A = this chain, B = another copy of it.
Amino acid sequence: MSGEERRRARKAATGGRPTHGPITLEDVAREAGVSRTSASRVMLGQGKVTDETRRKVWAAAERLGYVTNVIARELASGGSSTVGLLLRDAANPAYGLLFTRLQKAAHEADLTLVTLTVSDDDRGRKQVSSLHRLMGMRVAGLVVATGGVTSEQLEPFRRRIPIIRSGRPETTAAIHAVSYDEEDAARRLATHVASHGHRDVAVLVTAEPVSYPEYVRGATMAAVLAEHGVRVRPVEVSGPLDGVEQVISWAARGEITAIMCPTDTRQLHVLRAAAAAGLDVPGDVSVSGCDGVLPGADLLGLTTYRIPVEEVAQRTIRNIIRLVGDSPPDGVLQERVPGTLVPGRTVGPPPRR
């Protein structure tokens, strides 16, 4: 049975109008008494059409509740205008905010973002399957906001469509990236703590494979502290509560006077543990974090560094638009945006002995 025959059958079976199955452009065209092409032109809003035709088609579409089949449209026209967004688990407030801002920026630029998320639990397989799915959707470009996808995994697609990494530095120099200036963050925070006179500081350093940005923060903090002549006690951590007990016990014994965390979330854990141990902050021990996106951070008096989420989001969108556009830039874009130090009540001078 040919398509035409089937359509006729459907029509016949329901007394003059197809009911089941989605309404197609063909249905609209017939209802309006014009050809598919004309109907298509009207829906596309391009090409030459009489006002009369336009009106009839719109009316028919409205009457039938027609919705353009994006799938077919994109297949026929060869390629979508939407950009894919590969996102990390948005439970992390920093990623959640980045997600929001990316959407906002895209929206303002009249760009549609299709988001696929990948959980952390399956590093590798699933992440790649999401990547493949997005590629299979033939998106015009790709924004990658997760560390779960490595540069190598992106490599095969790099020359098919523009890819830009957002919110975290790219380790290879071949892929476009807009990221936070983690080193500036670490440097400013470390200098801030050192300038209060602390000489013995514990630093939570996230294991590199767990989170590269966090690793950079921790490692840089330790290095900068050392530059300032501070004795550093690094603690490698993976899980969210790792190392907390350790640094608190050091603080309780007076072996350190400050604790630096790579994220505010970890800072919160440390503050909780400090309170539980009867330690006053910053009377007995100073604490710092990083990210600065938590609502209420000011009320808690958190000492942190506000990452420039909005700026990174805007630049990401601006760049991906240029990249998918007709006059893409030459080299590889590697932008690094600094944020601002947020001094809080959690850092003070070390206790006198």
Contact = CB atoms under 8 A, between A and B. Distances in A.
A326 to B, nearest CB: 16
Among A89, A100, A113, A160, residue most surrounded by chain B Cβ atoms (within 10 Å): A100
Contacts of A35: none
A299 interface: yes
A104 B89 contact: yes
A138 to B, nearest CB: 6
Contact of A299 (B119, B160, B272, B295): B272
A212 to B, nearest CB: 21
A299 B268 contact: yes
B96 A100 contact: yes
A90 B104 CA distance: 10
A71 B138 contact: yes
- Give how many copies assemble into the complex: 2
Interface in A112-162: 112-119, 126, 132-133, 135-138, 156, 160
Nearest to A126: B107
Contacts of A156: 65
Nearest to A67: B135
Contacts of A96: 90, 93, 96-97, 99-100
Contacts of A160: 22
A103 interface: yes
B75 A104 contact: no
Interface string A48-67: 00000000000000000101
Contacts of A103: 89-90, 117, 119
A68 interface: yes
A22 B115 contact: no
Contacts of A104: 89, 119
Contacts of A72: 75
A81 to B, nearest CB: 11
A211 B319 CA distance: 34
Nearest to A98: B90
Given A75-B75, A90-B99, A296-B294, A70 B137 contact: yes
A118 B100 CA distance: 10
A247 B67 CA distance: 48
Contact of A132 (B67, B100, B107): B67
Contact of A138 (B69, B99, B114, B299): B69
A90 B95 CA distance: 10
A343 B228 CA distance: 44
Contacts of A116: 112-115
Nearest to A101: B91
A74 interface: yes
A287 to B, nearest CB: 12
A9 interface: no
Interface string A287-321: 00000001111111000000000000000000000
A147 to B, nearest CB: 16
Nearest to A91: B100
Nearest to A155: B65
A136 B75 contact: no
Contact of A133 (B91, B112, B294): B112
Contact of A115 (B73, B117, B297): B117
Given A71-B71, A99-B99, A114-B115, 6 more contacts: A68-B132, A71-B75, A71-B138, A89-B103, A90-B99, A265-B295
